[in-house]
Amino acid sequence: MADIVRKHVVSVEGQTVRERLQAMDDSAVVTEFLGGEERAFSELVTRYQTRLLNFIYRTIGDREKAEDLVQEVFIRVYRHLHRFDRSKKFSTWVYTIASNLAKNELRNRSRNPLVLFQTVQKNFQDEDRPLQFEDTTSRPDDMYRKRHLREIVEETVAKLPEHHRNVFILRELEGKSYEEIAEITECNLGTVKSRLNRARNSFAEIIAPYVD
Amino acid sequence: MDCRDFCDQHLAFVDDTLAGIELVRMQRHLVECESCAKQDAKIRRALLLFRNLPSIEPSANFSNRLEARLKECQNEQLVHSHRNLRLGAVAATLASVLMLGYISTTLYGHTEAPRDLVMPPVVASIPESELMPPSGPAMVTSVSAGLTIWPAALFAEQVPVRFAHSQLELANYTR
């Protein structure tokens, strides 16, 4: 009986801790983690895993590798969180790590043609996979159209130069401010605006024939 | 506003960060210029398409993999901190041994019976008197005959003094 009561108390306590963490902003969660609350890290993972996965995936275009890189981001965050300057935004720091990892991945690919070939081949094989993201209640022709459009959009993004693409994704997908993008990409504000403007124009130009 | 200004400010226009007057000018240009209106529509439509891309979710085993890697990371950190602790303990032991050695030496030195102060023997000695080479009459006599007359005369002026000196020194010598 006492065991059951103890278990119930622990679970209630765990639940309240989780709820308390959920209600906190990033900075407070980081403080909790540094204060020894291990569950705070899970909260950070929950908050950022999907966002980081989408950001890295849109940048490098390889889903498996994107997952690996997201894991690497969290490992780095775990190791170096005590060094994080808490006067800055946690999300900016995390995205800076993710952006650098994605950039390194693209650089390694361009240096190693075999990796590039394997990625292209893998993406090619992906064509045969069942649909994953479309609404299965849609009509087949709608599904085909949607899938086709999604592929075109992804291909168009991939065609943008790397430094334009990075800024474009951070702004349009992640909704980051110009200042945050400047900090993440380590560029000045003018460069960010100019790159974003060019990226938007190029993207619109490439995709226009498919949309009209 | 011309088309160039419109293009320059289009970024802020799309992001809705323009000030009131600028916004009105941009909107007016949009009504007046068909090509800019087309370009604006093209960009907005493309962005809408991109922003509505379906989000991808982490795979089912993502959390388990991450948890395993985090555990590895924790273990590494533990091993690292243990190693640091061990090194710290060794250093502390060495330091304490050295400290104990120093303290015991100091204490031993203090507990010993006071010894007689031994000083080196003092030897009294008479300082040697300085031996100055006498500038004797020989110096005067050694003047060669080949000297011109007037330096010789100058020299001759000093002769009595030198003689007087040498006499004094000689007197000192004999003391």
pLDDT on residue A154: 87
What is the DSSP code (8-state) at residue A83?
Answer: G
How close B21 comes to chain A (CA, Å)? 21
Looking at this predicted complex, what is its ipTM? 0.73
Q: How far is B102 from chain A (nearest CA, A)?
A: 40
Chain B residues contacting A, CB < 8 Å?
A: 10-11, 14, 39, 42-43, 45-47, 49-51, 53-59, 62-63, 65-66, 69-70, 73, 77
Q: Given a cut of 50, is residue A130 above it in pLDDT?
A: no
- Name the token pair of A146: 């949607």
Residue B133 has what pLDDT? 57
Nearest to A157 by CA among A199, A185, A192: A199
Give the ranges where chain B is alpha helix by DSSP (H).
3-8, 10-14, 20-32, 34-51, 62-111, 137-141, 149-174
Distance CA A92, CA A100 (A): 12
Q: Is the pTM value of this prediction over 0.80?
A: no
Q: Mark yes or no for CB contact B66/A45 under 8 Å.
A: yes
In this model, does residue B7 exceed pLDDT 80? yes
Q: Which of A36, A34, A32, A35 is nearest to A24 (CA)?
A: A32
What separation, in Å, do the N-terminal and C-terminal C-alpha atoms of chain A show? 70
Pick from A88-92, A109-113, A188-192, B153-157: least confident: B153-157
DSSP H or E segment with residue A185: helix A178-185
Closest B-chain CA to A202: B43
The whole-angstrom separation of Cα A84 and Cα A31 is: 11
If one counts every other C-beta atom within 10 angstroms of the C-beta of residue B50, the result is 21
Closest by CA to B131, choosing from B76, B174, B87, B88, is B174
Q: Give the range with max mean pLDDT: A93-97, B7-11, B76-80, B165-169.
A: A93-97
Average pLDDT over residues A120-146: 51
- Contact residues on chain A for B11, CB-CB shorter than 8 A: 193, 196-197, 200
State the count of interchain CB pairs (< 8 A) between A and B. 79
pLDDT of B57 over the 70 cut: yes
- How far apart, in Å, do the first and last CA atoms of chain B sit? 119
Per residue in A146-172, pLDDT tens?
677 888 888 888 889 988 999 999 999
Q: pLDDT digits over B60-103, tens only?
A: 899 999 999 888 888 877 777 767 777 777 888 888 888 888 88
d(CA B159, CA B136): 10
Q: Determine how many CB atoms are found less than 10 A away from the CB of residue A93.
A: 21
pLDDT-above-70 percentage for chain B: 67
pLDDT of A126 reads 46
Residue A15, SS3? helix
C-beta separation of A50 from B58 below 8 A: yes
Instruction: Let me know: does A59 contact A102? Beta carbons within 8 Å.
Output: yes
Q: What is the pLDDT of residue A100?
A: 93
Q: Do A75 and B73 touch (CB under 8 A)?
A: yes
